[in-house]
Amino acid sequence: MSNATIATLTRSEFKKISSTRLWWGLLIGVLLWTVPWAVFTAAFAGVNPGTGQPASPPLDTPAAIRSVYATAAFTGAYIFAMILGITGMTSEYRYQTVTPTFLVYPRRQAVVAAKMVAHLVMGLVYGVVGVVSALVSGGVTIVIRGYDLGLGSEGLWSGIGLTILAVSIWTLVGIGVGTLIRNQIVAILVAVFITFMIEPLLSVLANALDYGDLAKYLPTNASTALLSPPDLGFALLDWWTGGLVLLAYALVFAGAGMLLSIRRDVS
Amino acid sequence: MTREGTRIDIVGLTKKFGNFKAVDDLSFSVDPGVVTGFLGPNGAGKTTTLRCLLGLIAPTQGSATIGGHHYRDLADPIGTVGAALEASSFHPGRTALAHLEVMALGAGIDRARCMQVLTQVGLADVAGKRVSGYSLGMRQRLGLAAALLGEPRVLILDEPANGLDPAGIAWLRGFLRSLAAEGRTVLISSHVLSEVQQTVENIVVLARGRLIKQGKLSDLDSGPRGVLLRTPEPEKLRDVLAATTLSSDGQDESGRIRVMGGTPEQVGHAAFVGGVELHELVAEANDLEKVFLAMTASGLDESGEMVGVGADATRVDGHEVDGHGVDATRVDGDRVEEGRAR
């Protein structure tokens, strides 16, 4: 009974996730977000927007294919993966289940590590669901438009693999945010507000002021760079640098979360 | 199934939240084999003490150990100590069984044990129901089930009777006594003495984060007790008593005259001989709740000194503060009941 290891603690964390309804509610969110994104990306690829702006690359280019299958999946899944991470941590405080959690295993760093492992795996599931739904809905749209499915297109499968990894890593960011802001509603609102509002605004502002070098390092832009998307009108990092930057964010957030969880009084 | 008990030791424990001392240089110990009541008004520092003991909050000073070990260093935490701290630490969307399975998986306990403890506390029929549909009493029982999951030698329950109906309280009393009789250490907290009066043998009383009293419940004494009586002829009674060594000493809350200096037999005899008509004649009871209130009120005094009502508490303290002199192995239900009759 005494040899509770990360593995047994991780099983406990999986049970926590699977025994409430939130995880599949968020998974439905992934589908509802990814499918229209993939369909619209495929439907309007290469179509002149008529606003004087250049058209996006047409569907017979690898960049367009990647944006239909990989970018759409990432865009649809990463917010929900982050919210899963946030709630994974904050619901412990909201419902005070953190008390039995730390009573079962008082060496807290092991508990937090197990929580991260369980959420990283759930993040992979969210990423796979996002990719599959993008492949199906985007693929159907591409075929309807009379183009080739493009499944053999250059860089597609590595892009899909990186998508799944990136979505998974965002659960870690969520766990970190959830430890820093223990109020569940506030944590979700702040995180979504930052990723949907502050980050794009900062990114536009930085580019307008010729600080585009800084904008590249914002977490969402770094994640996007990982997927090597078509030109978005502003500079992104190399895919691998983007990946490292995202990983750095996750480790900083998760590390802060780990330290806080270990030191903080549970009362 | 009898398992060796384990002692709880609190030594010089202090916990500050900012400038506020929730627990102030607290020392006491809890012996195995008996049910110990951890008493004090709300805000006395009971829960803070228990959370320090369980490694959930870090003490500012001092130590709290179980069998000589800090909770964090226990090889098998929930197999050593079972704790139920509040009836609210459940995810409302999780079923009772799932809540226990989460714990069992983390501790490497056989999952079959979950249903076993749910049956033990009477929740087997609702094991698959989400906790959001549970009453406070059911949550208390689930908390108890969680505490029992690892078959611990030490059981720590915070306000376990809260929300239980009278039948539930009676059941809990018998249950805790049987666990103590198996040699386990049982510590239950309460802010109402009468709630646990028939369950506990030893008491630790806390007020304003400080120890007021540790000892046997039967050591609590509300002071010299008289004889209470009613009579339609109070003046005549006074004249009659004046000729004896008995004396009247005011009235109790319900208007009965208190006579000091003799037994009910002696008072009755004096009244009979003097021709005074009596309607009620009863020995004054040992009012534990009153002692408890006086003790804890002294601790609540602004200055923190034992003044005013504190005079009573000082006397009680003087009675016997040495808690280790307690005969920890005896759980003699009848004797204890008698000692506690109000």
Question: Does the structure show a pLDDT above 50 at B269?
Answer: yes
pLDDT at A233: 63
Question: Does the structure show a pLDDT above 50 at A212?
Answer: yes
Residues 148-177 of B with CB under 8 A from A: 150
How sure is the predictor about B329, in pLDDT bands with cuts at 50, 70 and 90? very low
**CB contact set of B329 (below 8 Å; sequence gap of 6+):** B33
User: What's the number of CA atoms in the CB half-sphere (13 Å) around residue A135?
Assistant: 14
Q: Based on the domain organization, do B254 and B316 belong to the same domain?
A: no
CB contact under 8 A, B89 and A16: no
Q: Based on the domain organization, do B275 and B206 belong to the same domain?
A: no
Q: Based on the domain organization, do B154 and B18 belong to the same domain?
A: yes
Q: B170-191: per-residue pLDDT in tens? A: 999 999 999 999 999 999 999 8
The Cα A29–Cα A32 span in angstroms is 5
Question: Does the structure show a pLDDT above 70 at B340?
Answer: no
The Cα B20–Cα A251 span in angstroms is 36
| Residue A24 counted as domain residue | yes
Weakest-pLDDT range from A148-162, B1-15, B108-122 = B1-15
| Residue A204 counted as domain residue | yes
| Residue A183 counted as domain residue | yes
Q: B69-95: per-residue pLDDT in tens? A: 999 999 999 999 999 997 678 999 999
| Residue B96 counted as domain residue | yes
How sure is the predictor about B45, in pLDDT bands with cuts at 50, 70 and 90? very high
Q: Dihedral angle at the C-alpha atoms of A248, A253, A258, A259, nearest 10 degrees? A: 100
Return the SS3 of A62: helix
Q: Based on the domain organization, do B112 and B238 belong to the same domain?
A: no
pLDDT at A29: 96
Q: A181-192: per-residue pLDDT in tens? A: 989 999 999 999
CB contact under 8 A, B89 and A100: yes
pLDDT at A238: 82
CB contact under 8 A, B93 and A1: no
Considering only CB atoms, which chain B residues are within 8 Å of A99?
A: 56, 85-86, 89
CB contact under 8 A, B103 and A22: no
How sure is the predictor about B342, in pLDDT bands with cuts at 50, 70 and 90? very low
Q: Which of B74, B86, B95 is the closest to A96 by Cβ?
A: B86
Q: Residue B112 maps to which CATH number?
A: 3.40.50.300
Weakest-pLDDT range from A204-208, B137-141, B315-319 = B315-319
CB contact under 8 A, A106 and B86: no
Terminal-residue alpha carbon distance, chain B = 35
Considering only CB atoms, which chain A residues are within 8 Å of B83?
A: 103
Q: Which of B51, B55, B98 is the closest to A15 by Cβ?
A: B98
CB contact under 8 A, B106 and A4: yes
Q: Residue B256 maps to which CATH number?
A: 3.30.70
Considering only CB atoms, which chain B residues are within 8 Å of A263?
A: 58
| Residue A78 counted as domain residue | yes
Q: Based on the domain organization, do B178 and B44 belong to the same domain?
A: yes
Weakest-pLDDT range from B11-15, B268-272, B306-310 = B306-310
Q: Which of A12, A100, A107 is the closest to B105 by Cβ?
A: A12
Question: Does the structure show a pLDDT above 90 at B7?
Answer: yes
Q: Which of B72, B74, B101 is the closest to A15 by Cβ?
A: B101
pLDDT at B336: 32
CA of B25 vs chain A CAs: smallest distance (Å): 19
| Residue B172 counted as domain residue | yes
What the block records as the tokens of A2 is 């005494």
Q: Based on the domain organization, do B131 and B151 belong to the same domain?
A: yes
Q: Are B105 and A11 in contact (CB under 8 A)?
A: yes
Q: Based on the domain organization, do B183 and B271 belong to the same domain?
A: no
Q: Based on the domain organization, do B66 and B212 belong to the same domain?
A: yes
Question: Does the structure show a pLDDT above 50 at A52?
Answer: yes
Q: A163-184: per-residue pLDDT in tens? A: 999 999 999 999 999 988 989 9
| Residue A1 counted as domain residue | no
Q: Based on the domain organization, do B247 and B126 belong to the same domain?
A: no
Reported ipTM: 0.88
Q: Which residue has the higher pLDDT, A138 or B322?
A: A138
Considering only CB atoms, which chain A residues are within 8 Å of B56?
A: 99, 102-103, 265-267
Q: Does an H or E element contain A206, and which? A: helix A199-208
**Beta carbon pairs, A and B, within 8 Å:** 103
Q: Based on the domain organization, do B120 and B36 belong to the same domain?
A: yes
The Cα B275–Cα B288 span in angstroms is 35
Residue A156: which domain range? 6-263
Number of domains in chain B: 2
Cβ of residue B89 closer than 8 Å to a chain A Cβ: yes
Mean pLDDT over A76-93 rounds to 95
Q: Which of A9, A12, A19 is the closest to B94 by Cβ?
A: A19
CB atoms within 10 A of CB A147: 17
Cβ of residue B48 closer than 8 Å to a chain A Cβ: yes
Q: Which amino acid is at B84?
A: A
The Cα B139–Cα A247 span in angstroms is 42
CB contact under 8 A, B51 and A20: no
User: What's the number of CA atoms in the CB half-sphere (13 Å) around residue A210?
Assistant: 0
Return the SS3 of B113: helix
| Residue A77 counted as domain residue | yes
Q: Based on the domain organization, do B92 and B234 belong to the same domain?
A: no
pLDDT at B262: 87
Q: Are A169 and A122 in contact (CB under 8 A)?
A: no
Weakest-pLDDT range from A145-149, A201-205, B187-191 = A201-205
pLDDT at A208: 81
CA of B155 vs chain A CAs: smallest distance (Å): 13
CB contact under 8 A, B107 and A95: no
Q: A222-260: per-residue pLDDT in tens? A: 888 887 766 666 678 888 888 889 989 988 988 888 888
pLDDT at B337: 33
Number of domains in chain A: 1
Question: Does the structure show a pLDDT above 90 at A135?
Answer: yes
- Residue in A with minimal Cα distance to B108: A1
Q: Which of B72, B91, B103 is the closest to A95 by Cβ?
A: B91
Residue B185: which domain range? 8-221+310-340
CB contact under 8 A, B93 and A21: yes
Q: What average pLDDT does chain B have? A: 83
The Cα B257–Cα B235 span in angstroms is 11
How sure is the predictor about B295, in pLDDT bands with cuts at 50, 70 and 90? confident
pLDDT at B204: 95
Mean pLDDT over B225-245 rounds to 88
| Residue A126 counted as domain residue | yes
| Residue A250 counted as domain residue | yes
CB contact under 8 A, B72 and A101: no
